[in-house]
Amino acid sequence: MIRLVPDWAIHYDDFWQAIKVRNLWFIKLRYAAVIFLIGFFIVGQFLLDFRLKPAQIIAFILISVIILAYNITIHITRKYVGCTPGKFNCLHLSLLQMMLDISALMILVYFTGIIESPLHMFFIFHMIIGSLILPGYVVYSLAASVSICYSILAMFRFYGIINNWIITGLVSESAHYSFTYIIFFLIVFSFMLFLSVYIANKIARQLYQREQQLRATLLKLDEAERAKQKYTIGVVHEIKTPVNAVHSILDLILGGFVGEVSEPLLQKISRAKIRTEEAILLINDVLRISKLKLLNIRASESVNIKQLVQNLIDGYQDQFKNENIEIRFSDNRPAGRMIKADPLLLELALSNLIGNSVKYVNDNGLVAVSLYDEEDSLVIQVSDNGIGIPADETERIFEQFYRASNVDKKMMEGSGMGLAIVKEIIVRHSGEIKVKSPSELAQPGRPGTSFIIRIPYSPAEEQGTEEINLSANSQK
C-alpha cells in the first residue's frame, strides 16, 4: 500500500477529519462538474454552434454518465472507508478520486482538441486540489503522468496517428501549429502543472505547521493554567490551616473552656468568629474553582432536572415565606428528557443562581425558574425582579471576586466567587450561560436579572474521568 500520510501531519485525528471533509467536498464538487459538463455541452451545441461530431457527443454523454456513476459509488461507500494508516483509508480514496478525475478529464480533453481544448486548464485545478491533501511526491508523480500523457496525445495528433477532435465551431479546422509551437506549448503547460503543485504544496505544508505551532502554544497555556491552579490550591490550603486554628480557639473561648470572659469581650470574639467563618467560606470557594479548573469531571449520570430544581426550591421555602418572595417554577419541555450531567455540580450551580435571586430580589419580590427545550439542548432560566445588574457590568459578572457596583456590600454579604463557579460548571458540561438585565420580570424600580443556561442533551465526549470532591465540608 502506498504511504500517503505526509510526515508533517502529526496530529492524525485532525488530519483525518480534514481529509474526510475534503473528500466529501470533492464529491459535491464533482456533482457540480457533471452539471457544468452537461451545461457546457447543451449551451455549446445549441447556442454557440459547437458543431460537435457524433463521436464527440457520445464521448461527452458517456464521460458524464461515468463520472456521475463513480461519484455516486464513492459517495455511498465513503462511510465505510476508515482512517487507519497501512490499510485502504480515506487518503487512498482521495488518490483514487484524483486518478479517476484526471483520466476522465484526459479523455474529454482528447475529444475536444487536446492543445486546443478549452478544458485542459482543469488539470491545473486538479493539481492544486491534490496538493492540499496528498504528499508532494504523489502529486508530482500525477503531474508528471498528466504531462507525459498530454504530450504523447499532442504529438500523436501532430503526426496524424490519432484523430483530430477539435470543436469545429470554436477552432478552424485548417489551423496548423508548427512543431516548435507544440513543443513550446507543452513545456509551458508542464511548467504550469509543476509550479502549481509546488506553490499549493508549500502553502498547505505551512498551514499545517502553523496549526501545529498553535496547538503547542495552547498546550503550554493549558499547562501554565494548571500550574497556576495547583499553586493557588497549595497557597490557599496553607492559609486555611491557621484560619481554622483561630476559628477553633475562638470557639473554645466562646464555649467557656478557657475561663471567664467579660460580656463586651465575648461580643467582640463572636464577631471575630463570624469573620473567620466568612474567610473559610471564601477559601473553600477558591479551592472549589481551582479544583474545577484543574480536573476533568464526570458528567455521565442521567439527571432528572425537574426533580433537582424542585428539591432546591423546597429547600428555600422558609426563606421565600419569611421574605414574602413569590416563586414560580415551570417545566415547559414536552418530553421531560433526562440530562447527562454531574448531579452534584449541577445542583451547586443552580443553588447558587436561585440563592442569588433570593439574595438580590428584596422583600416581596418574584423569582421564576423555567425549563424548556431548544433544539437538542436543555435551557434553564432563573429570573427575578430584584436589583438587577448595571448594563455595562454584565460582561464582567462571571469574573472571580467581581461584585456589581449597585450591591450594598455592607448589607449583602458575598465573595463574588459564586457566578465564576457556576460558569465553570456549565462550561464543563459543554454548555453556556448568559445573563440578561433587566429581566423579563422587570417592573418599575425593579429591573431584575435573568440567567439563561443551555446544556446539550448529548454533550461532546469527556476527555478525562477524574473524580472530584467539591463539597465545602470535605475541604475543612
Closer CB to ligand ADP, residue 54 or residue 445?
445
Exposure string over 222-249, b if 16+ CB within 10 A, otherwise e: eeeeeeebeebbeebeeebeebeeebeb
Cell numbers given for 373: 427545550
Query: CA of 365: how far to CAs of 274, 341, 409, 413, 450, in Å?
Result: 28, 31, 20, 19, 14
Determine if 116 is a binding residue for ligand ADP (CB under 6 A). no
Smallest distance, ligand ADP to C-beta of residue 344, A: 18
Determine if 325 is a binding residue for ligand ADP (CB under 6 A). no
Smallest distance, ligand ADP to C-beta of residue 468, A: 20
# binding residues, ligand ADP (CB under 6 A): 21
Determine if 449 is a binding residue for ligand ADP (CB under 6 A). yes
Determine if 419 is a binding residue for ligand ADP (CB under 6 A). yes
Determine if 415 is a binding residue for ligand ADP (CB under 6 A). yes
Q: Which of 24, 57, 404, 468 binds ligand ADP (CB under 6 A)?
A: 404
Cell 511526491 -> residue: 137
Paired residues of 48 in beta bridges: none
Cα–Cα distance measured from residue 153 to residue 407, given in angstroms and rounded to the nearest whole number:
83
Determine if 283 is a binding residue for ligand ADP (CB under 6 A). no
Determine if 447 is a binding residue for ligand ADP (CB under 6 A). no
Determine if 304 is a binding residue for ligand ADP (CB under 6 A). no
Q: Which of 414, 438, 456, 459 binds ligand ADP (CB under 6 A)?
A: 414
Determine if 66 is a binding residue for ligand ADP (CB under 6 A). no
Smallest distance, ligand ADP to C-beta of residue 389, A: 5
Determine if 166 is a binding residue for ligand ADP (CB under 6 A). no
**For 142, which DSSP code?**
H
Q: What are phi and psi of 434, to 5 degrees?
A: -130, 155
Closer CB to ligand ADP, residue 162 or residue 452?
452
Closer CB to ligand ADP, residue 388 or residue 431?
388
DSSP readout, 3-23? Answer: --S-TT---HHHHHHHHHHHH
Cα–Cα distance measured from residue 145 to residue 237, given in angstroms and rounded to the nearest whole number:
69
Determine if 431 is a binding residue for ligand ADP (CB under 6 A). no
Q: What are phi and psi of 361, to 5 degrees?
A: -90, -20
- Binding to ligand ADP (CB under 6 A) within 342-401 occurs at 352, 356-357, 360, 384, 386-389, 397
Q: Helix-strand-coil percent breakdown of the chain, rounded to 5?
A: 60, 10, 30
Determine if 416 is a binding residue for ligand ADP (CB under 6 A). yes
Closer CB to ligand ADP, residue 445 or residue 464?
445
Query: CA of 55: how far to CAs of 63, 163, 341, 389, in Å?
Result: 12, 11, 66, 77
Smallest distance, ligand ADP to C-beta of residue 419, A: 4
Residues that bind ligand ADP (CB under 6 A): 352, 356-357, 360, 384, 386-389, 397, 402-404, 407, 414-419, 449
